[in-house]
Amino acid sequence: MKLSRHFELIALLAIAGCIRAPITSIGPQINAIRGSQNLGIIEFGFLTAIPVICFALAAPLPSLRVFRKIKTEQLIVFALLALAAATIFRTLGSNSLLFGSTIVLGISIAILNIVTPALVRRDYPKKITTVMPIYSAVLALLASLGAGLSIPIASYFGDNWKIGISVWAIPAVVVALIWIPLLRKAQPMPDTHENHFKELFRSKKAWLVSLYMGVQSAIFYTQVAWMPKILIDKDYSAAQAGALFGLSTLCGFALTLILPLVFSRGEDLKLAILATSVPGIIGFLLLNYSSNTWTIPALLLISTTHAALPLALGLIAMKSPSVGATSHLSSMAQGIGYCIAAAFPILIGYTYETSNGWLVATYLIALLIALQAVLGLKANR
The pLDDT of residue 268: 67
Secondary structure (H, E, C), 248-317: HHHHHHHHHHHHHHHHHCCCCCHHHHHHCCHHHHHHHHHCCCCCHHHHHHHHHHHHHHHHHHHHHHHHHH
Residue 65 clears pLDDT 70, i.e. is over it: no
Condensed to tens digits (0 to 9), the pLDDT of residues 28-62 reads: 998 899 999 999 988 999 999 999 998 888 877 76
The pLDDT of residue 259: 66
Q: How confident is the model at residue 263 (pLDDT cuts 50, 70, 90)?
A: low
What is the distance between the alpha carbons of residues 268 and 36, in angstroms, rounded to a whole number? Answer: 50
Residue 193 clears pLDDT 60, i.e. is over it: no
The pLDDT of residue 257: 73
What is the distance between the alpha carbons of residues 314 and 213, in angstroms, rounded to a whole number? Answer: 11
Rg, Å, the chain Cα set: 20
Percent of the chain at pLDDT > 90 equals 40
Residue 192 clears pLDDT 80, i.e. is over it: no
Q: How confident is the model at residue 97 (pLDDT cuts 50, 70, 90)?
A: very high
Instruction: Flag the least confident range among 248-262, 277-291, 296-310, 330-344.
Output: 248-262
Residue 163 clears pLDDT 90, i.e. is over it: yes
Q: Delimit the domains of the chain by residue range.
A: 2-380
| pLDDT higher at 115 or 118 | 115
Residue 313 clears pLDDT 70, i.e. is over it: yes
The DSSP bridge partners found for residue 71 are 188
How many CA atoms, within 13 angstroms, populate the side-chain half-sphere of residue 285?
11
Q: Of the segments 66-75, 132-141, 366-375, which one has the largest average pLDDT value?
A: 366-375
**Average pLDDT value over all residues in the chain:** 84
Name the CATH code of domain 2-380 (choices 3.30.1660.40, 3.90.1200.10, 1.50.10.10, 1.20.1250.20).
Answer: 1.20.1250.20
The mean pLDDT of 180-203, rounded to a whole number, is 71
Which residues make Cβ contacts (< 8 Å) with residue 43, sequence separation at least 6? none
The pLDDT of residue 316: 77
The answer to whether 60 touches 114, Cβ cutoff 8 Å, is no
